[in-house]
Amino acid sequence: MNTSFRRAVGIAVLSTLGAAALAACGSPEASKEASKTVTLVTHDSFEVSEEVLKEFTKETGYQVKVLRGGDAGSAVNQAILSKGNPRGDVFFGVDNTMLSRALDAELFTPYEAKGLAKVPEEFQLDAAKHRVTPIDTGDVCVNYDRKYFADKKLDPPQTLDDLIKPAYKNLLVTENAATSSPGLAFLLATVGRYGEDGWQDYWKKLKANGVDMVDGWEQAYDDRFTGSAGGKKNGDRPLVVSYATSPPAEVFYGGGKNPEQAPTGVSTGTCFQQIEFAGLLDGAKNDKGGKELLDFLLSKAFQEDMPLKMFVNPVRDDAQLPEVFTKYGERIADPHNVAPERIAQHREQWVKQWSSLVK
Amino acid sequence: MAVPIAFFALFFGYPVAAIVSRGLRDGGQWQLARLGEVLAAPETGQVIWFTVWQAVASTVLTLAIALPSAYVFARFDFPGKHLLRAVVTVPFVLPTVVVGSAFLGLLGRGGVLDQAWGVRLDTGVWAILLAHVFFNYAVVIRTVGGLWGQLDPRQEEAARVLGASRFTAWRRVTLPALAPAVAAAALMVFLFTFTSFGIIQILGGARYATLEVEIYRQTAQFLDLPTAAVLTLLQFAAVGCLLGVHAWTVRRREAALRLVDAAHTSRRPRGAGQWALLWSQLAVMALLILLPLAGLAERSLAGPDGYGFAFYRALQAPPGAGSTFVVAPVAAIGNSLAYAAVATLIALVVGGLAAAALTRRTGRFVRGFDALLMLPLGTSAVTVGFGFLIALDEPPLDLRSSWILVPLAQALVGVPFVIRTMLPVLRAVDDRLREAAAVLGASPLRAWREVDLPLVRRALLIAAGFAFAVSLGEFGATVFIARPDAPTLPVAVERFLGRAGELNYGQAMALSTILMLVCAVTLLALERVRTNRSGEF
C-alpha cells in the first residue's frame, strides 16, 4: 500500500482513538453535566423501571448512569480492584456471602440512608457503621416440579434432611459452588444447617443419593429442571436449586393466563437467605448525588418496583408486594444462615472441600 | 506498523501486564516465590494435565471428523454447498452460552436423541470433546478445504498416468501440498480448545477445569490475583509456543503451490463410493451442526399457544410492560450491530496496517510480531477485562466507563482474523504492477486505486465480514467489562436465560436465533465474495 493510503488510514485510527480519548475525558459540556449525573455500578441482574428512574431525576435533578459488569461476584471484585478510584458513586449488589470481603477492602464510605428505620434489624448487618445499606433479600431454595410429584403421588421434599431420603434419589440438580451464586448459597445452607463439622458428611449422603451438579443456574434451571419452560421438553430432574421467587417468575413470565397455582413450588426448609447491599463508594466524585441515590434505593417507589424487576423481596417492611408474589410466592420464615465473617474466613476452603467431595 | 503496535501495546499488552504484575507484586516487591508455590501445587498439575489432554483429544477428533468433510467441500459440487459452508461456520462465531445449550438440548439428557432412541451424552468428557468438534469444525473446513479446492487435481492424475497407485499418488502429491494447511488447522483447533472456557464451564461443571477456567475462577470469583497471574503466565508461555509453531507453518504454506480456481476442481460425485462419501458427510453435518442450530430456532418458535412468533413480538415490548429491560430488547440488536461495526472498523484499520507491514518486511522480528498479534485469541477474557479496569483508569485514558471499551475488546479478537485473511492476498500483489502504473504516470493515489484496491477489495470485504461476525458473537471479554447501559445481543441472551419463566426463556431463544441468522447472512455474503486466495478463513 502506498503512503497516502497509509496516511488516510492513520488519520482514521487516530480519530478513532481520539474519539475514545474524548469519550473518556468528556467534552466541556459533559463535565458540566457530570455534577448532574450520578453513576451506579452494579451487576448484570440489576433492573429498574424507567418511570421510577425518571421520578428520581425529577425530584433530585440527577441523571442516573448505570454501569453493569458481570455477575455479582465479579462485579464486587471489579469494585475492589478499582478501590480508591471508583468508576462510579454507588455500588449495588454485594450480598452477605461477599460482604466481609468488601468491608475488609474498605470499599465504602459510611452513610446512613433515609428510610433505614423501616428496615428490620435482622437485615442490617452493618448497623453500627452504616458502610452498607440493605436493599433487598432473596432466598435460595430447592424448587420442585408440582406436576412430577402429583403424577408420582409423592410428597415433594420440604427440608434438607428429606433430600437424602431414598424416595428422592436421582431427582436433584444443583449448581457449581465455585462459580455460581445459588450454588454457593445452597452449600452455605447446608453449612448453616449441619454446622462446620457436619456439612461434608451431609454432602457425601447427598452424592450417594444421586445429586447432580452443573455449572450455573441457567444450565440447572433451563436445561435440566423439568418444571421450567426450557426444561419442559428436555429436563430430567424435578428438583433444582433456585430461588424462592422463581415460582412467581414462572407465572409472571408464563406468557399466558394466570393459573390457580404456580407450576413449581418451593421446599421451604432448604433455604439460605441472601441480603443484597448498596454503599457509597470510597472516592466517589459525586458523593452528594450518591447519597441521594442510596436514599432512593431505599425509597418506597424503588422498593416496590424491585420485585417485578429483579425478582427479589424489598427490605422495607412497609413496601407492598405485587399480587403475583403474594399469591404464588412463599415467604421463608426460618432460612438457614451463616455469619458473613465466617463465610469470608472459610469460603475458599469450603468450596475447595466441596469440589473434591462432588468430583 | 506503528499503529498496530501502539494499539496492541495500549489495549492488550499494558492491561494484561498491569493485572499480572498486580498479582505478582506485593508492596513494590516481586513475589516470585508465589510462582514456585502455585506451580508446585497439585491442583495446578491436574489443571495442566486436563487442559493438555482434552485439547489433544479434541484436535484429533475434530480432524478425524472434519477432514473427510473438507474433501467433500473441496472436490464435490452439490446444490446448497455455499449455504452449507456458511451455516457450518455459524457455531464458530456464536457465543458458547447459546450454542452450548442448543447442543445439550439435542445430545444431552432428555435431549431429542435421548427421547427418540435413548442416545444421550452426559455432561462430561465426551460431551466436551464433541462440543469442541461442533465449534471448531469450520476451522478445518475453511482452512484445509479452502486450499484443497485450489489444488490442481491434474497433478495427481499425472502421477497416476506415470504408474502410481491411487494411494501413492495421493500420498506423494496431494498430501505434501496439503500438510501445512492441515498443520495450521490442527494448531488453530488446538489453540481454541487449549483455551476453551464456555464449553468446559457448561459441560464440565466443577469436575473439569482448563487453565482458562481456573484463571476465571481465581480472578472473578476468588480475587486470588497471585494464583491467576501465575496461571496466566503459564498459559501465555504455552500459547506463545503454539503461535510460534503456527507462524512457522504459515510461512511454509505460502511456499509456491500451483493453485487453480476452486470452481474448476469440483464436480458432481461419480459412482456409489463418492455418493456414499458425500451423503455420509452431509449426515455428519446435519447431526452435529444443523440439528442443534435448528433446535434453537424451533424453541424460539414454540410459544405458549403453539408455534408462532409470540417470543419475537415480546422482544418489541415497550419498557415496563413485563420487559426485563430498561429499553426494549430489540434495542440490544441495534447495540450489537453498532458495537460490531465500530469493532470491525478498528480491526480493519489495525489488522490491515499490520498485514501491510508484514507483507513489506521479513525477518524474525516481523514473524514474531505476526505471532504476537494472534496472542489475544489465546488470552483469558477475564484477564483482559480486569486488566482494562486497573490499567485504563487515569485521564486521558480513563476508558473504564466508556462505551468504546466494548468494541476495543471485540476488535482485539477480530484483528487476528483480518491479518490471516489479508496477508496472503497482499503478499500476492505483484510490485511490478504498481511500478508499471507509476511509469505510465499514475500518481501514488491513483496507482493504489487502480492496482491495489481492486486486488485487495474482496479480501478486505471478507476480513470485514469475519471481524464483524466474530465481534457480534463475542461474549467473554464483553461480559467482564462494566458496560454503560447498552446490552449487546449475547449479554441480553444471558440476562434472559438467567431468569425463570417461559417468556424469558423464549425471548432468549428468539434473540439467539436472530443472532444466528445475522451471523449466517454475514457468512453467506462472504461466500459470494470469496476469492481464490482468501487466506485461512
> Would you call B501 and A355 a contact, using CB atoms and an 8 Å cutoff?
no
Residue B206 to residue A175: CA distance in whole angstroms: 9
Contact B76, B266 (CB under 8 A): yes
pLDDT in the model for residue A26: 42
**Mean per-residue pLDDT for A113-122?**
94
SS3 A236: coil
> For an interface test with B, which of A53, A74, A140 has the most B Cβ atoms less than 10 Å from its Cβ?
A74
Range with lowest mean pLDDT among A13-22, B11-20, B225-234: A13-22
Task: Compute the CA torsion angle A299, A303, A305, A307 (nearest 10 deg).
Answer: 180
- What confidence score (pLDDT) does residue B323 get? 44
pLDDT for the residue B296: 85
| E-assigned strand segments in chain A | 37-42, 63-68, 90-95, 108-109, 133-145, 172-175, 212-214, 239-243, 264-281, 313-314
Does residue B381 sit at the A interface (CB-CB below 8 Å)? no
Count CB pairs under 8 A between chains A and B. 249
C-alpha A312/C-alpha A72 separation (Å) is 14
* Residue pointed to by grid coordinates 440438580: A173
Averaged pLDDT for residues A144-165: 96
Give the pLDDT confidence of A159-203 residue by residue, as tens digits. Answer: 999 999 999 999 999 999 988 899 999 999 999 999 999 999 999
Cβ of B297 under 8 Å from any chain A Cβ? no
Q: Does A356 touch chain B (CB under 8 A)?
A: no
Cβ separation of B501 and A250 shorter than 8 Å?
yes
Does position A308 have pLDDT exceeding 50, yes or no? yes
Per-residue pLDDT, B144 = 86
CA angle A28, A31, A33 (to 5 degrees): 110
B504 against B529, higher pLDDT: B504
Quick one: pLDDT band at residue B417, thresholds 50, 70, 90? confident
Cβ distance of B448 and A5 shorter than 8 Å: yes
User: Mutate which of B400, B405, B423, B445 to test chain A, going by most A C-beta atoms within 10 A?
Assistant: B400
- Mean pLDDT is highest, among A165-169, B88-92, B117-121, B459-463, for A165-169
CA closest to B4 among chain A residues: A13
Q: How confident is the model at residue B245 (pLDDT cuts 50, 70, 90)?
A: confident
What pLDDT score was predicted for residue B170? Answer: 82
The mean predicted confidence, pLDDT, of chain B is: 83
Of A4, A68, A215, the CB nearest to B202: A215
Q: What is the pLDDT of residue B158?
A: 86
- A37 close to B (CB below 8 A): no
- pLDDT bracket for residue A91 (50, 70, 90): very high
Is any Cβ of chain B less than 8 angstroms from the Cβ of A311? yes
Can you tell me the mean pLDDT for A9-34? 46
C-alpha cell at B248: 512457522
Examine the pLDDT at A96 and tell me if it is beyond 90: yes
Q: Give me chain A's average pLDDT, please.
A: 88
Number of Cβ within 10 Å of residue B502's Cβ equals 24
Q: State the sign of the Cα–Cα–Cα–Cα dihedral B60, B61, B65, B66.
A: negative
Query: Average pLDDT, stretch B237-253?
Result: 77
Contact B349 A9 (CB under 8 A): yes
pLDDT at site A307: 94
The mean per-residue pLDDT over the stretch A88-109 comes to 94
CA distance B212 to B48: 10
Residues B24-43, mean pLDDT to the nearest whole number: 82
What is the mean pLDDT of the segment spanning A77-92?
93
Rounded to a whole number, what is the distance in Å from the CA of B329 to chain A's nearest CA? 13
| A77 pLDDT tier (thresholds 50, 70, 90) | very high
A198-257 residues touching B, CB cutoff 8 A: 213-219, 221-224, 228-231, 233-236, 242-243, 246-247, 249-256
Any chain B CB within 8 A of the CB of A87?
yes
Top residue of A7, A11, A14, A17 to mutate, by most chain B CBs within 10 Å, is A17
Summarize the confidence of residues A111-138 as an average pLDDT: 95
Residue B427 pLDDT > 80: no
Pick from B10-19, B94-103, B487-496 the range whose average pLDDT is largest: B10-19
Instruction: Give Rg (Cα) of chain A.
Output: 23
Distance, in angstroms, between A18 CA and closest chain B CA?
A: 10
Residues 285-304 of A with CB under 8 A from B: none
pLDDT tens profile A335-357? 999 999 999 999 989 998 998 89
Residue A75 phi/psi, 5° resolution? -65, -45
Put simply, the chain B residues between 497 and 536 with a CB less than 8 A from any chain A CB are 497-506
pLDDT confidence bin for A98, thresholds 50/70/90: very high
- More confidently predicted of B364 and B272: B272
Stretch among A259-263, B248-252, B532-536 having the lowest mean pLDDT: B532-536
Give B 129-158 residues with CB within 8 A of chain A: none
Task: For chain B, give the percent of residues with pLDDT over 90.
Answer: 20
pLDDT of A148 reads 94
For the ranges B55-59, B231-235, B441-445, which has the lowest average pLDDT? B441-445
> Which of B108, B325, B399 has its CB closest to that of A223?
B108
SS (H, E, C) B214-277: HHHHHHHHCCCHHHHHHHHHHHHHHHHHHHHHHHHHHHHHCCCCCECCHHHCCECCCHHHHHHH
At residue B17's C-alpha, the angle toward residues B12 and B20, to 5°, is 125
Confidence of residue A22 (pLDDT cuts 50, 70, 90): very low
- pLDDT for B362: 64
Q: Which grid cell is B40? A: 508446585
Residue A275 in this model has a pLDDT that exceeds 90: yes
B325·A47 Cβ contact <8 A: yes
B97, B390, B483 ranked by CB distance to A81: nearest: B390
Q: Look at residue B347 in the predicted model and tell me its pLDDT.
A: 95
Q: Are B360 and B431 in contact (CB under 8 A)?
A: no
Q: Which pLDDT score, from 0 to 100, does residue B340 have?
A: 93
pLDDT in tens, A28-42: 444 444 578 999 999
CA dihedral angle for residue A74, residue A80, residue A83, residue A86, rounded to 10 degrees: 20
Instruction: State the pLDDT confidence band at A79, using cuts at 50, 70 and 90.
Output: very high
Q: What is this model's ipTM?
A: 0.84
- Interface contact A25, partner B, CB < 8 A: yes
> CB–CB of B132/B196 below 8 Å?
yes
Over the stretch B165-207, which tens digit does the pLDDT of each residue have? 888 888 888 888 888 788 888 988 999 999 988 888 877 777 7
The answer, as to whether pTM is greater than 0.90, is no
User: Does the beta carbon of A328 lie under 8 angstroms from any beta carbon of chain B?
Assistant: no
